[in-house]
Amino acid sequence: MKITKALFQCSSERLSQVPKDPLPDIAFIGRSNVGKSSLINLLTGRGGLAKVSATPGKTRLINHFRINDAWYLVDLPGYGYARTSKQQRGAFSKLILDYVLRCERMHYLFVLLDIRLEPQRIDLEFIELLGTHGVPFGIVFTKADKLSAAQRERSLARYRRTLEEQWEELPPLFVSSSAEGTGRDEILDFIEKSLRPAEH
């Protein structure tokens, strides 16, 4: 898929504020600092579209970016970041749960995981929640440039083994590096295919 147009549409602090048009949402989520905003900028080819920050917890709203006037790319708040206000202290905020489990706009969700880390309980809990509710999702491993090819393979194998304990069939897995541009084409092609039936 070629992205010819990418525009910031709106930030929502409640589900009632998300766009009302019929375009589908493709959303991105993960722990704070995993590289969501960087991946969004890589995919859209617009360096400054989503704000990248070295300080975790930067994205606290649901941000909609309108792509090719055909779908929305959605930057969700990071989960599992405790040092915010009281209401947001739960592992998964109400905003995240409302959107992920109840928003009918959401067509597909990418869960981002740092490829350097061993499987984290909070991510596994979130993935389990998605499975229980039948939410369609794939996994994107981020920051692949920080590991050697052999280390990447080891890390992926470790994650596959963990997921296989929980799932009969693994979700689609992607490896990305926003620093090196890895994974961009695969993810965009996947999105294009996933949107196709909805277009007709």
Residues near ligand GTP (CB under 6 A) are 30, 32-38, 52-54, 56-59, 78, 142-143, 145-146, 177-179
From the list ligand GTP, Mg ion, none, partner contacted by residue 146 (C-beta under 5 to 8 A by kind): ligand GTP
Residue among 11 and 194 whose Cβ is closer to Mg ion: 11
Separation in Å, CA 143 to CA 38, 112, 113, 152, 173: 10, 10, 9, 10, 14
Residue among 141 and 190 whose Cβ is closer to ligand GTP: 141
From the list ligand GTP, Mg ion, none, partner contacted by residue 57 (C-beta under 5 to 8 A by kind): ligand GTP
Residue among 58 and 66 whose Cβ is closer to Mg ion: 58
From the list ligand GTP, Mg ion, none, partner contacted by residue 143 (C-beta under 5 to 8 A by kind): ligand GTP
Euclidean distance between CA atoms 146 and 158, whole angstroms: 17
Binding of Mg ion at residue 63 (CB under 5 A)? no
Euclidean distance between CA atoms 131 and 129, whole angstroms: 5
Residue among 35 and 183 whose Cβ is closer to Mg ion: 35
Residue among 23 and 115 whose Cβ is closer to ligand GTP: 115
- In the complex, minimum distance from the CB of residue 94 to ligand GTP, in angstroms, rounded to a whole number: 17
- In the complex, minimum distance from the CB of residue 108 to Mg ion, in angstroms, rounded to a whole number: 19
- In the complex, minimum distance from the CB of residue 24 to ligand GTP, in angstroms, rounded to a whole number: 22
Residue number with the smallest Cβ distance to Mg ion:
37
Applying CB under 5 A, which of residues 37, 41, 44, 93 lies at the interface with Mg ion?
37
Task: Copy the structure tokens of residue 181.
Answer: 């541009």
Binding residues for Mg ion, rule: CB under 5 A, are: 36-37, 58-59
